[in-house]
Structure 1
Amino acid sequence: MSSQEPLKHVLVTGGAGYIGSHVIYTLQATRRYKVISIDNLHNAHPESLDRVAQLARDSLPPDASEQDKDTAEIDGHTCDLTKRDQIRAVFEKYGKGGIWGVIHIAAYKAVGESTQIPLIYYENNVSATNYLLQVMEEFDCTRMVYSSSATVYGTPPVIPIPETTRLKADSPYGKTKVMSETILEDLCASEPQRWRALSLRYFNPAGAHPSGQIGEDPRGRPGNLLPLLAHMAIGRVKDSKLRVFGNDYPTPDGTCVRDYLHVLDLAKGHLLALDALAPESKVFDNCPADARFKAYNLGRGKGVSVLQIVEAMKKATGYDFEWEIVGRRRGDVPDLTADPALAQKELGFTAPQDLETMCRDLWNWQTKNPWGYGEPEGELAPRAQHVAEKLKRETNGVPVKS
């Protein structure tokens, strides 16, 4: 990289988390950005940043410049986005105009949990976004890539779902995303010459970096299906059966259908969106109004049911999952499958990695890190450790049943 092109400082909120760590990996791989991470570590582990930085160092060429080496180091901060003073302290380090843009990923994200503690979700997801934007404005940082969700569509009238679908979230979590998008759009409309923002409506990220060095490690019992299945197979949860919430939905096998994409493909979508915030970008040329705000679906456009996911993980792990049908879960939507055509056309986004690859990379991460970034604990520790050691002893690479 030419020394005449200084690095752009980019702030990633939730940088130590599952998606955040893979986004940072993707940013560092370009050697065009200096990454600042802030995370309150509510559902993340600081070691993930150490591992991401090591991956970046390992990929540097032998003749790497000092600037290239600098891109491999992360400026990490423990910071609570509901505390404006803590956000401000990070921005003050770089001064006005010192941070080029923000990728805002940090949020609580469990649909079921949000129906039980909605006030906490509104504070952490909506108020925190508002505070972050206020501090950004104070420091002349007016570019944001926002981490949204397919849940903003609620129960969509058309599948696959285009971005023109009306926003009608069914859960408090989904509503926090709609509200945050609204705030961003209103802000961009208020000062169209200053503010630019892209909202990325995620479908279902899965998998892990193929090295197995970083991956999804939720604190406590996983709230999402794939990490829960991985924890069951490795022995980290005591459930003998998977509870499947409803089999009477209007889908091919009656279980909910979701659109899964590899987390690294999702991360590349963030890089494309960040580049699209540059002054020379053309993505806002066809905006219907003055506001420089747009939303894009990030998905594969291929729906997969709960039972198909279970079967794919069985193939990847060799673990014979047992499951039982229970009642529907409040807030669940029958089918969330993306129409990703707009992101492909305007951002150049693609998600080529298939479900088999996602499950393989997830299982690789889980077997190399049976306790994620942490240490064995509790009564299940011996079993999980036994499974992990058994898998490590394999010589032919075929998963073994526990």
Structure 2
Amino acid sequence: MILVTGGTGYIGAQVVLQLLGHGQTVVILDNLCNSSRTSLERIARLGGRRARFVLGDVRNRAQLDALFADFPITAVIHCAGLKAVGESVREPLRYYDSNVGGSITLCQAMAAAGVFTLIFSSSATVYGDSPRMPIDERCATGLPTNPYGFSKLMAENVMTSLAASDARWSVGLLRYFNPIGAHDSGELGEAPAQIPNNLLPYLLQVASGQRDVLHVYGNDYATVDGTGVRDYVHVMDLAEGHWLALQALMGGSGVQVWNLGTGQGYSVLQVVDAFTRTCGVSVPLVFEPRRAGDVAQCWADPDKARRELGWQARRTLDDMLRDAWRWECRLAAQHRPILYTPRITPVAVAQAASELAAV
């Protein structure tokens, strides 16, 4: 049985679905701070069977001990954590408490239970403002530009130290670039409980009329059009990477690091233009000053994951945007029609969902 922390969240839910598809039994631990139980129903519908669910927090050692005692867990995929760069700048202690403290407590409970196989959801932010592009796993870490990145790097260091001290540990550090998109069924995607801090979920809420304009932070970077450049990877490709990494870790020891990205960078304006072209909806923009903690550009060299895991991102930017919009249209049609402005009416949202489903 595999434990997935944060398994009802945006990435965690896709990972759970991937595991179920490969015949694994799964137990989810999640405190639902940025997700909901509805993810469990969607996972069950798409996966054909249910994952077990425990409402709880990785910082609660007593609860973790009980979890490992109650379930025959053999490996852990640790997706739980806070992830917004801007929010981490405003609330650094909250991020260190959750992302670092929670990881330490989880590792302590794993060791006490005799479970030593761990995949950690890390981030390309650990590379900081890298002078070299594309970024491979040999690039230096240690100077992230925000507390979120530091919290991920600190957690990585905890796990690396553990593996150096005890050969029983087999740890995979997956450094995500920028996950976007949704399940291609339109049934499972990102539904932020708070105001989105990342580009695509905010863009989707503007496109569907929940918000007035898309704020673009910085148009004076040394990039193709002055806006920030990122490597966007489809969340379903990302989830497949977790399964392949888990297979690679089984029976091994030590720490392995893999970048999960496409190897292609896109600017904010290129993403907006691609969304308009692919999904047929224009969004108004307002340019703002640069945001604290952001870097100008960041994209991956994913060759190590290709060579060692047989993993490669297969879905294009258009796929990512089309799948994300299909999911947003479904949310609009089912749950939030009263919030939508005349830019895209509830009827238009439902029609768009129907058309996209046929693609």
Q: Output the TM-score relative to the length of structure 2.
A: 0.95
Instruction: Give the alignment of 1:1-400 within 5 angstroms.
Output: 9-31=1-23, 33-57=24-48, 72-94=49-71, 98-167=72-141, 168-192=143-167, 194-237=168-211, 239=212, 241-279=213-251, 292-370=254-332, 375-376=335-336, 381=339, 383=341, 387-393=345-351, 397=355
Q: Which SS does the other structure have where 2:120 is aligned?
A: strand
Q: Distance in 1 between matches of 2:287 and 2:78?
A: 36
Q: Distance in 2 between matches of 1:51 and 1:219?
A: 17
Asked whether the equivalents of residues 340 and 346 of structure 2 are also in contact (C-alpha less than 8 Å), the reply is no
Q: Which amino acid aligns with 2:6?
A: G
Asked whether the equivalents of residues 370 and 384 of structure 1 are also in contact (C-alpha less than 8 Å), the reply is no
Q: Distance in 1 between matches of 2:153 and 2:321?
A: 30
Deviations 1:65-88 (A, max 9, x none): xxxxxxx22111111112111222
Q: Which SS does the other structure have where 1:296 is aligned?
A: strand
Q: Which amino acid aligns with 1:178?
A: L
Q: Distance in 1 between matches of 2:215 and 2:343?
A: 25
Q: Output the TM-score relative to the length of structure 1.
A: 0.85
Q: Distance in 2 between matches of 1:389 and 1:139?
A: 53
Deviations 1:25-67 (A, max 9, x none): 1111111x1011011000011111111111111xxxxxxxxxx
Q: Distance in 1 between matches of 2:162 and 2:354?
A: 56
Q: Distance in 2 between matches of 1:346 and 1:317?
A: 36
Asked whether the equivalents of residues 79 and 86 of structure 1 are also in contact (C-alpha less than 8 Å), the reply is yes
Deviations 1:215-249 (A, max 9, x none): 00011211111111111111222x2x221111111
Q: 1:175 to 1:384 in 2, by over 3 A?
A: farther
Q: Distance in 2 between matches of 1:150 and 1:185?
A: 17
Alpha-carbon RMSD across the aligned residues, in angstroms, is 1.9
- Whichever structure has more helix as a proportion of its residues is 2
Q: Distance in 2 between matches of 1:27 and 1:305?
A: 33
Q: Which amino acid aligns with 2:163?
A: C
Q: 1:252 to 1:89 in 2, by over 3 A?
A: same
Q: Distance in 1 between matches of 2:219 and 2:247?
A: 42
Q: Which residue of 2 aligns with 1:62?
A: none
Deviations 1:2-23 (A, max 9, x none): xxxxxxx000010000101111
Identity of matched residues, %:
42
Q: Which amino acid aligns with 1:353?
A: R
Q: Distance in 2 between matches of 1:392 and 1:244?
A: 28
Deviations 1:178-202 (A, max 9, x none): 100000000000011x110010000
Q: CA deviation at 1:385?
A: 12
Q: Distance in 1 between matches of 2:209 and 2:267?
A: 24
Deviates more, 1:17-26 or 1:386-395: 386-395
Deviations 1:77-121 (A, max 9, x none): 111112111222211202xxx211000011100000001110010
Q: Which amino acid aligns with 1:218?
A: P
Q: CA deviation at 1:387?
A: 2.5
Q: Distance in 1 between matches of 2:352 and 2:332?
A: 16
Q: Which residue of 2 aligns with 1:5?
A: none
Asked whether the equivalents of residues 16 and 44 of structure 1 are also in contact (C-alpha less than 8 Å), the reply is yes
Q: 1:81 to 1:371 in 2, by over 3 A?
A: farther
Gaps of 5+ in 1: 1-8, 58-71, 285-291
Q: Distance in 2 between matches of 1:390 and 1:339?
A: 40
Q: Distance in 1 between matches of 2:356 and 2:179?
A: 25
